Amino acid sequence: MIEKLKGIEERFIKLEQLLSDPAVISDQKKYQEYLKEHGELNKIVPVFREYERFTEELDEARELLKDNDEDIRDMAKEEIPALESNIDELKSELSLLLMPKDPRDDKNVLLEIRAGTGGEEAGIFAGDLFRMYSRYAESKNWAIEIVEKNDSSSGGYKEIVSMIRGKGAFSNFKFESGTHRVQRVPETEAQGRVHTSAVTVAVLPEAEDVDIEINPSDLKIDVFRSSGPGGQSVNTTDSAVRITHVPTGIVATCQDEKSQHKNKAKAMNVLKSRILDAKIREEDAKRAADRKGQVGTGDRSGRIRTYNFPQGRMTDHRIGLTLYKLDNIMEGGIQEIIDELKTHNQAQALKEVG
């Protein structure tokens, strides 16, 4: 690990020289490329330099244990435990920093929420989850754009698909995929009995042109009239678009915009993301045996979380986390949950690499 870190430091110094080179500065494409790499290494190098400083101080303290002066030896004995503790902490931090970064982490997110078991109550909770995620995204100053929605008659949604745009969106949302269970008394329940309903959440990284290529001849495009709840026409033109990728059978629909052109662009973006997600999930399935200990990022059939309203409790079943502040969570206060999931996943990944 130390040799690798020394190589990173050498590259960091070289990049600093390159970024002050007039020839590089005049080539904006190359300059931005080097600037981005410098920014990534700048997260590692200062920590490594601090690690080296503490290591040198520890070596010096151990040498002082051989000194003839008893006071100097006592001082060294007092310093050594603190230095060893600092070094261990920095080692752990460096191990995390050296872990391969998920290339999808900075991508935008396609968020799909669908009502599951529980009838109308599931639809209402789907709306509650969408509001929770929207509030969280707003707190991050990320943009939210509804792509497709199917309203439920009692409020909420049978299905809602949205795009969340912002740096680091996928890294924060990627552990939300799965079945979210709610336990509460529905508004329609006259007897005051607690019902259990379920909503499924899927989180997909937005696909870019470099991620996936689609042959236009593999697409079947249908246009139809947009409609609202109960079949009421939203407009009188065939602006809604449905695109089917014939080889995989994957479908994407958009009718949120009045413009057919805009709906087609949105639907194509969703289609690419769903095809990329299917490809990623297939690759992940091949590595599943090696990832048993990690938090799943895409098992949509597994129950991942329970929201118990009578007790004001949220439990994430994957890591055994229980929080008694459900009101805050439903208002978008989910960062603590996300941070715990990230920490658990990092710990498991560190175990894998020894």
- Domains of the chain, each with CATH number or no CATH: 2-98 (1.20.58), 109-210+297-350 (3.30.70.1660), 216-284 (3.30.160.20)
In the block, tokens 């995620």 appear at: 133
| pLDDT of amino acid 152 | 87
| pLDDT of amino acid 211 | 66
- CA–CA gap between residue 62 and residue 66 (Å, rounded): 8
Both tokens assigned to 276: 């990329």
Q: 3-state SS of 191-207? A: CCCCEEEEEEEEEEECC
| pLDDT of amino acid 354 | 53
- CA–CA gap between residue 240 and residue 267 (Å, rounded): 9
Q: Which positions ≥6 away from 44 have C-beta within 8 Å?
A: 5, 8, 12, 94, 97, 98
| pLDDT of amino acid 237 | 62
| pLDDT of amino acid 190 | 64
In contact, 95 and 255? CB cutoff 8 Å: no
The number of CA neighbours under 13 Å toward the Cβ of 37 is 16
Burial class (CB in 10 A: 0-12, 13-18, 19+), 218: exposed
**DSSP single-letter state for residue 14:** H
pTM over 0.75: no
Both tokens assigned to 351: 């175990």
Amino acid letter, 173: F
Q: 3-state SS of 19-59? A: CCCHHHHHCHHHHHHHHHHHHHHCCCHHHHHHHHHHHHHHH
Q: Which regions of the chain are under pLDDT 50? A: 229-234, 289-300
Burial class (CB in 10 A: 0-12, 13-18, 19+), 185: middle
Give the orientation angle of helix 335-352 with respect to helix 70-98, to 10 degrees: 100
